[in-house]
Amino acid sequence: MGTQAFTPDYSKEVDQRTAQQKAIDEWLPITSSRNAKWWYSAFHNVTAMVGAGVLSLPYAMAELGWGPGVTVLVISWIVTLYTLWQMVEMHEMVPGKRFDRYHELGQHAFGEKLGLYIVVPQQLIVEVGVDIVYMVTGGRSLMKFHDLVCKDCKDIKLTYFIMIFASAHFVLSHLPNFNAISGVSLAAAVMSLSYSTIAWGASVDKGVQADVQYGYKATTTAGTIFNFFSALGDVAFAYAGHNVVLEIQATIPSTPEKPSKGPMWRGVIVAYIVVALCYFPVALIGYWMFGNKVDDNILISLEKPVWLIAMANMFVVIHVIGSYQIYAMPVFDMIETVLVKKLKFRPSWMLRFVTRNIYVAFTMFVGITFPFFGGLLGFFGGFAFAPTTYFLPCIMWLAIYKPRKYSLSWWTNWICIVLGVILMIVAPIGGLRQIILQAKHYEFYS
């Protein structure tokens, strides 16, 4: 196995930790609490995976068409489950060492410096990008809830709703670690299943629309192709949970007799069943009922019954509150690691208070400035989600385990890599075009 040469160094590193280093590790968000149960893994993964992206899947189906749409959804589910299994397996492949963070696994596979350069920028783009998109999603859903419940009230700008949504995070961001946000995450996981069920249930109730059409929306060939590319990014965005999977596994206790991969994998299987129950009915039924007239958020197409759609929008708000926290935690960990380990700041409540508030304010500001919801999904979906979800785990697997050439493992990984690279190239092109088209009709801070 390609892992053996690294083993002595890592075991030495564990042995050489001073009391001060142990104290720092016990303070940092990812390594401070390791008493999670397998079901924590299940709902953390559901919260991370089933984001607001599920509501854009019928729209993605409209741009992909029936055949390609179903194919892309199914292949994505299979490929991402496979790459997630790889990451769970690689978490403790070196005896006595746990890769608690995505970039630590990257450093093991590619070397100390190169691993950081490859993984950290992509992971940050994903996590910060998701948090920005969730600021917009939370604000939009609050706005929709307000407009449905209070039809005679005066209009309030989207900017203010994003600020209201952000206010929850100025409080919740001070929960110290993953286990501390488990209650928020559980509520979010329940909400994701609830609003997905409402989305497809209300679609069935509404029935197939009288003038429904399943042809492509764009009138030109170029428009159809670009929309197809953008829709691939939407699907990639829907499977973004890999960016936090090692960090989630780090919270599960582990011994040589009972490694963490057992309970983690059990949680992942449950999570992926929930993902299928959310994604496939929403995508297929939503497109079946509305055809190519479906909005980029299925709840906008569903106007009645008003109370149910208002409730679904509120469920989305609660869900993205939890999702935001799941994706923010590894970012907090990175920031705090740099400040404490590199810049020698003293671990303190004040340090955490200042840095986390700055981060929430930054994501709020960017969300207010660029609320291009559909386009952002497509652009970020391809640019950063495809590598970290679809093919980076496969490259690491090939680099570390070195499977025999032309064996089943070798072929499987290379097929995933090729599909992932194609996705990474084409999806941002479609997403960027959508942003440009939407920007024409957009006024800043409207």
Answer yes or no: is 17 within a domain: no
Cα 100 from Cα 14, distance rounded (Å): 13
pTM above 0.95, yes or no: no
Q: Is residue 72 a part of any domain in this protein?
A: yes
Asked if residue 212 belongs to a domain, the reply is: no
Q: Count of domains in the chain?
A: 1
For residue range 364-413, list pLDDT tens digits in order.
998 888 776 555 656 666 677 788 888 899 999 999 999 999 999 999 99
Using CA atoms, how far apart are residues 149 and 201, in angstroms rounded to an integer? Answer: 21
Structure tokens at 383: 């640019």
399-428 burial code (b ≥16 CB/10 A, e <16)? ebbebeeeeeebebbeebbebbeebbebbb
Query: Mind listing the pLDDT tens digit for each residue in 235-255?
Result: 877 777 788 888 899 889 888
Q: What is the mean pLDDT of residues 194-214?
A: 86
Q: What percent of the chain has pLDDT over 90?
A: 37
| Chain mean pLDDT for the chain | 85
Q: Is the pLDDT of residue 345 over 60?
A: yes
Residue 2 belongs to a domain? no
Q: How far apart are CA 59 and CA 73, in angstroms?
A: 13
Higher per-residue confidence, 437 vs 138: 138
Note down the domain range covering 171: 31-49+60-182+228-272+327-439
Q: Which residue has the higher pLDDT, 193 or 4?
A: 193
Instruction: Check whether 178 has a pLDDT greater than 90.
Output: no
Report the SS3 class of residue 150.
Answer: coil
Question: Does residue 217 lie within any of the structural domains?
Answer: no
Mean pLDDT of 297-325: 86
Residue 207 lies in a domain: no
**Residue 171 falls within a domain, yes or no?**
yes
360 falls within a domain:
yes
- The pLDDT-based confidence of 12 (bands split at 50, 70, 90) is very low
The verdict on whether omega for the bond into residue 330 sits within 30 degrees of 0, i.e. cis, is: no
| Cα(407)–Cα(392) distance, integer angstroms | 19
